Amino acid sequence: MTTEAHPSDALRAQLAGSVLSPSDTAYEDARRVHNGLIDRRPALVARCHGTADVQAAVRFARERGLAIAVRGGGHNVAGNAVCDGGLMIDLSAMRGVHVDPRARRARAQGGATWGDYNRETQLHGLASTGGVVSTTGVGGLTLGGGLGWLMGKHGMAVDSLRAVELVTAAGEVVRASADEHPDLFWAVRGGGGNFGVATWLEYEVYPVGPTVTGGLVAHPFAAARDVLRFYRDFTASLPDELTAFAGVLHAPDGSGTKLAGIIVCHAGSLEAGAAAVAPVKRFGSPVMDVIGPMPYTAVNMLFDAGFPRGALNYWKSNFLAALGDAAIDTMIERFAATPSPMSGLLLEHFHGSATRVGPTETAFPHRSVGYNFLAVGEWLDASATSANVAWAREAYAAMAPHFTSGRYVNYLNADEVTEGSAVSAAFGPNWKRLREVKRRYDPANVFHLNQNIEP
């Protein structure tokens, strides 16, 4: 028996799922995450089938001193889901979603995607705030806060979270809720994967859809200044039910045509939705208007084609308290210089219920009315990497004079997850308390391949 085979055999004997090593044919696909810029090679991949498998994998890694990476949806732009030389705990086979429509609760396994979750909850006309790309993992998005189309009405994803089952660094299975391990429950609502592997997440769900008013309106890039000024004025007085994002982006047909767009989702009645989005539909001379009644599940898939698996991604983001003319002009100027027909500069508006939670009530601290600015560098040709990374960094630097404090933890890139200032900015006033909870549940920093909180 070779030395390479022995550890994988030992782990295989403990799992209902499978274990992959570099010699296995399925290994190459298993180690790949959504962001094609990430190229790491774990020693082993544990494809878990349930909580018992996760517990066994965590204990195995600890006994052998292996670094642990946890893959849920595999979408995180920093590539936290995969490591070099360690153990990748792969939850992608754990995609169960159970809905109790009477109790208005939904339980999702740690490998479920928002597409899985919405498909099941929408059978009952129920939903909670989820991601804006349906292939994003439920667990990773939620643990980092979770912005989405329902946040004006129902808050961030963490605001609907009612309990989490975690495998801790000690290999114990615990349930964290308002009544059980409340300090841990506070920390996982925004503190990311620092405290354990989330094997089940339980949410409160609300009546939404199944048909809502949503969609995209796009204008010629030449009108971008007027469009973004209109968006600023429009978002100054939105009802809670309406969430509206905007940006300068490329046409989805791959032509490279630059556009200015506004994307909306209204979580209330179709009549109220039509009235709320009427100003957007009346404004200017759009080249495309697909805002109208559509399935809520379809709203959550509007961005899917723009973020294909394997595309190379480099993102930079920060919060804006206001959207001034100078910031708008900077966005337009920097977008005009993008080297890729897949990149964009986006604005995600925070208002309503998401901003009525105190910044220290959950570990997710960003509760002010305003915008999250996101520079999405995305391309397909690896030889263009340096130009595209440079563009995203330059766009971010040019916008920096307009930023307020705070970073959205889920958008930190691979350069930033190990940068103390970026991580502490993401956790803001909760940084000290998060370190105390980390010290209690993971004093050896076993779970450090994340937006890391050092104990």
The residue type at 301:
M
pLDDT band with cut points at 50, 70 and 90 for residue 100: very high
State residue 253's pLDDT score: 82
Average pLDDT, the chain: 96
Q: Look at the pTM and tell me if it is higher than 0.85.
A: yes
Model confidence at 338: pLDDT above 80: yes
- 285-304 pLDDT, tens digit per residue, is 999 999 999 999 999 999 99
Model confidence at 6: pLDDT above 80: no
Asked if 279 and 234 count as a contact pair (C-beta separation under 8 A), the reply is yes
- Span of 42-51, 174-183, 260-269, 422-431 with lowest mean pLDDT: 422-431
State residue 1's pLDDT score: 44
Average pLDDT over every residue of 8-33: 95
How many Cα atoms sit within 13 Å of 152 on the Cβ side? 24
Label residue 93 exposed, middle or buried (CB < 10 Å: 0-12, 13-18, 19+).
middle
State residue 3's pLDDT score: 45
Q: SS3 of 250, please?
A: strand
Residue whose C-alpha is closest to residue 302's, from 352, 236, 221, 245: 245
pLDDT band with cut points at 50, 70 and 90 for residue 417: confident
**Both structure tokens of 152:** 């004006």
Domains detected in the chain? 5-90 (3.30.43.10), 97-208+432-441 (3.30.465.10), 211-411 (3.40.462.20)
- 339-367 pLDDT, tens digit per residue, is 999 999 999 999 999 999 999 999 999 99
Strands 211-220 and 288-289, sheet pairing = antiparallel
State residue 195's pLDDT score: 98
Q: Work out whether the CA dihedral 160, 162, 165, 168 comes out positive or negative.
A: positive
Average pLDDT over every residue of 395-408: 96
Q: 198 forms bridges with which residues in the sheet?
A: 166
State residue 296's pLDDT score: 97
